[in-house]
Amino acid sequence: MGAGRIGIQLAAYLIRERHDVAIIESSEERARHASNRLDCLVLHDEGNSLRSLEDAGIRNANALVCATDSDEVNMIICGIAESRCPKLLKIACVRNDDYLTLGRHIGEGHEDGLNPEVLGIDFFVHPDVEASRAALNAIEHGAIGDVLSFAGADYELGSIEIAKGSALDGLSLRNYRDVIPGETLVTFIERDGRGILPDGSTTLMQGDRAYIFAKGEELVRVFELGGSAAHSLNRIGIAGGGEAGRLIAESLLGAAGSGVLSGILRKKTASVRSFFSSLLKRTSRRLVLIENDYELSKNLAAQFPGALVLNEDIRDESFIAEESLNDLDLIVTTTGNQELNIITALYLKSRGVKRAIAMVKSDGYAEVARRLGVDVVISIKAVVVDAILSRLVGGGVTGIHRLGGGMIDIFEIEIKASMPIVNQPITAFRLSGGGLLMHVNRAGKSFIPHGGYLFRENDKIVLIAKNSSEKDLEKFFHSPH
């Protein structure tokens, strides 16, 4: 429901993975754009009516995702669908946390902290929470690059752009162990707009974005060899005092937020701790919040007495010099203007700020910002789509992360007794497009699997695969029932 940025990207992924998709869009222009781009049914209609839902095939659908620009419309559509199709999986994008307090509470039994009974909505996805969680994860890892952490795993996946003249520039993977001992894997390489699943004959080159799977201390070493040294992040600036900026500040300062979104974010970030955290002096962390709106600045100052709140325009060069913002260790730009976020991050880096994180709305801007030198770029659209996909894909999948602009997928899967792969050796796992089993957590023990590994019930695994591999994965990880 909704052919905006989120709806289009979500539909494109599902179509590529050979799912049947129908889109309802009320805007004629957006509907026409979706119809021209996507190989699926696109209806130009209002979604908040049973007739339009039935025209789209709701009675035969497995899931409904409401991703319009209106929280109210998203919730109402889920309610209409619940009245006729109560077994349908219903996911709603909701941005206003006031709605979440209606008949809801922070509960122990629900992963996202919500009681999913009102209007039949099974899962809420909150753009500000997902973006804030991604930013906090980056900060915990020193904003050194994009780093993915996995539940129950001692290993993490970090991406780094290979710097000219670094120890990794020109390194053949045949000689990788000579330079980097220990258990690390080069899992994927982005080069000149294409993706490479590497083997022993692959050579790392300047400008490559390499994705390295390793334990935290080893990942730090790889980053240093690649030309990106870790720094302590003690003085942090946040540009933008909206919901995302506030949630990040609240978590960094350890403030006890009372809102529903704050509770959800605490649950989602509770496990975001890594070796990188030991590099950060949390006790000496100082926070600067920059917000142009006077009333919002007053509210932020009242909520965060331990932070310096500046009611200023981040675009004012004289203000940046007066407040010595060039002494910041990290700037996080979270305003609603993605161009301003990129420019501010780059400008402050040019003035001496060590690291920069910028939030953008689309993957296109994300790629531009990375190429220009922003250390970590968070595409709000991408993190929201990943959150939705993690709820949509069955077969024991607990998480999906898309890398390289959608060229590659990371799957987190919990092995169930009914799956065909149970008790099979690792040699039985082959994907037509190429893939790699990176990690296993078995009864709390975390390891990279080798030739003698057998898939066992309750194993939690992490694997990487080229896109369009979901149907391939079904034959290994989907129950026959």
The structural domain count of the chain equals 4
Q: State whether 410 and 459 are in the same domain.
A: yes
pLDDT digit string, tens, across residues 99-154:
665 544 433 444 444 444 567 888 889 899 899 989 988 888 788 777 888 876 77
User: Residues near 260 by Cβ (< 8 Å), separated by ≥ 6?
Assistant: 97, 100, 101, 104, 106, 113, 114
CATH number at 167 reads: 3.30.70.1450
User: What is the reported pLDDT for 262?
Assistant: 56
| Overall pTM surpassing 0.85 (yes/no) | no
Q: State whether 272 and 222 are in the same domain.
A: no
Q: State whether 253 and 326 are in the same domain.
A: yes
User: What is the reported pLDDT for 105?
Assistant: 42
Q: State whether 182 and 282 are in the same domain.
A: no
- Domain boundary at 384, 407, 429, which? 384
Q: State whether 348 and 247 are in the same domain.
A: yes
Q: How far from the centroid of its chain's Cα atoms is residue 190's Cα?
A: 18
Q: How far from the centroid of its chain's Cα atoms is residue 213's Cα?
A: 17
Q: State whether 316 and 421 are in the same domain.
A: no
CATH number at 259 reads: 3.40.50.720
pLDDT digit string, tens, across residues 343-394:
999 999 998 899 999 999 887 888 889 888 898 999 999 999 988 988 887 6
User: What is the reported pLDDT for 96?
Assistant: 82
Residues (pLDDT < 70) of the chain are 99-118, 152, 229-230, 255-284, 394-395, 479-481
Range of the domain at 462: 393-477
Taking alpha carbons only, the member of 423, 387, 386 closest to residue 403 is 386
- The encoded tokens of residue 375 equal 């250390």
- Domain boundary at 384, 411, 430, which? 384
User: What is the reported pLDDT for 455?
Assistant: 93
Q: State whether 373 and 400 are in the same domain.
A: no
- The encoded tokens of residue 346 equal 């780059």
User: What is the reported pLDDT for 102?
Assistant: 56
Q: State whether 119 and 135 are in the same domain.
A: no
